[in-house]
Amino acid sequence: MPQTKPRARNQQEPVIVWLRDNLRLADNRALSAAARTGQPVLPVYVYDDASPGLRPLGGASRWWLHHSLAALAGDLDAAGARLNILRGAAGTIVPQLAQRRGATAVFWSRRYGGPERAVDTQIKTSLGELGIGAHSCNDLLLVEPWEVMTRGGEPFKVFTPFWRALRERGEPAPPLPKPRTLTAAAMSPPDALGGVTLDSLDLLPMRPDWAGGLRETWTPGEQGARARLTQFARSGLDGYMANRDRPDLTGTSRLSPHLHFGEIGIREAWHRVARASADHKVPHADAQKLLSELAWREFSNHLLFHTPDLATRNFQPRFDAFPWQPDRRQVRAWQRGRTGYPIVDAGMRELWHTGWMHNRVRMITASFLIKHLLTDWRTGEAWFWDALVDADAANNAASWQWVAGSGADAAPYFRVFNPVLQGRKFDPEGDYVRRWVPEIAGLPTAHIHAPWDAPASVLAAAKLELGRGYPKPIIDLDEGRARALAAFDTVKGR
């Protein structure tokens, strides 16, 4: 395409805000920069199911996206603007839309996966050739992946020094307020470039509608995100260090899906927690622990930037030769929460019902699949990708590789979580298991995490018949552990 000279700015010409993983009005640098131009603002979301290399959203993420976009549309309406939804390859649609609408600039938030960056580079090039301004900004992370490096100029591969380097940079920039006013730029429907309605994207499950548990658990959107952060800062942050590993307690923030979809910014979450500590409203250790969890999210995204195939390739190449021995029936039992190990089954059922799983239980269920069932971590990563409302390309892959021992700063492969001991330690009264595995709820606490050890009289009193009402264990823990360690011996010297 031939080069064209930039057009003279006309105050009636619009600027486009291309919204992606920043589905909010507050602390949205792209939106704020567009509003500061004083020109009409055209907010656009492109549902890109056509660009090569982009990973299709899982079912739970599609459900969340529908409701997040609906909430965003309402917030924009209240601000005097309108959300315009298009469908197709963003690399083609965004430049064509900008040219057709006579836009002087396009603003967007940067993404860090390889295929996403390829799309963004294509768009930036096309807009430049059209003489249209292209402005990308960081709305996803505290710092850019190229800004935090080792002294040797290499990406960090271990979290602790990364966390130390991140803290040495000082506090992140404060969050921005919502733009005071937005001058709307109308978009005439139907648009030949792919303008569609939200319902036409078919993001919601219909036949069957399996999202009842998601609806009763979550409130997607910026208001829901802010309410959750406020509630946690007031009543959950104090005691976070002690309670975060307890799935039977409400001890975690549950902000992950809101952060993933950008309904609340990482800077706002960071400053809210840091301020609670500075004001002595919560213990410093509790606040620092949560900040370190936000930093793990940051670390994972930096890993993804430097390793775009993080979800498909072992970070440590020696695991390429690992002798996986998956059993399809066992994997299916794991997916359905029918392994016979209560803490594992509780986690998998919580995931299916709510689209979320407690972080400690994520580690337990992942360890069980990878090590006791000797199943490739990518099988579990793909299941979580489809089932999680917070299925994040960076966090999901990095965390599965961490458990597998194949990732950056990974847990040693020979660390095999025993689900019985983990259940007794982190769900001591069995409340979590009883909630999600009701068929064994009548068992006394002494046997709730190992029903097969219960005397026949105890099973009868609980009206439980193992193998019928609840499955017997699908694998012996000692045998599974021994098999896993033997398999690891074949690659540990590579």
Q: Which of 324, 352, 439, 452 is catalytic?
A: 324
Q: Is the pLDDT confidence value at 336 over 80? A: yes
Q: Which of 377, 383, 385, 402 is catalytic?
A: 377
Q: What is the mean pLDDT of the chain?
A: 94
Is 377 a residue of the active site? yes
Is 296 a residue of the active site? yes
Q: Which of 64, 270, 296, 383 is catalytic?
A: 296
Q: Which of 116, 263, 293, 298 is catalytic?
A: 293
Is 359 a residue of the active site? yes
Please, are residues 17 and 104 in contact by the beta-carbon 8 Å criterion? no
Q: Is the pLDDT confidence value at 463 over 80? A: yes
Q: Which of 243, 359, 439, 452 is catalytic?
A: 359
Is 301 a residue of the active site? no
The residues near 388 (Cβ < 8 Å, ≥ 6 apart) are: 58, 60, 61, 351, 355, 356, 357, 396
Is 293 a residue of the active site? yes
How do residues 254-307 score in pLDDT, each as one tens digit? 999 999 999 999 999 999 999 998 887 889 999 999 999 999 999 999 999 999
What's residue 192's pLDDT?
Answer: 54
What's the mean pLDDT in 44-63?
A: 97
Is 381 a residue of the active site? no
What's the mean pLDDT in 117-140?
A: 97
How do residues 381-415 score in pLDDT, each as one tens digit? 999 999 999 999 999 999 999 999 999 987 788 89
What's residue 193's pLDDT?
Answer: 60
How do residues 153-192 score in pLDDT, each as one tens digit? 999 999 999 999 999 999 999 999 999 888 877 665 545 5
Torsions phi, psi for 129 (to 5 deg): -65, -25
Q: Which of 63, 334, 400, 436 is catalytic?
A: 400
Q: Sketch out the chain's domains with CATH numbers.
A: 11-139 (3.40.50.620), 141-175+221-306 (1.25.40.80), 317-489 (1.10.579.10)
Strands, sheet with 133-137, edge to edge from the N-terminal-most edge strand: 133-137, 105-109, 15-19, 41-47, 84-87, 195-196
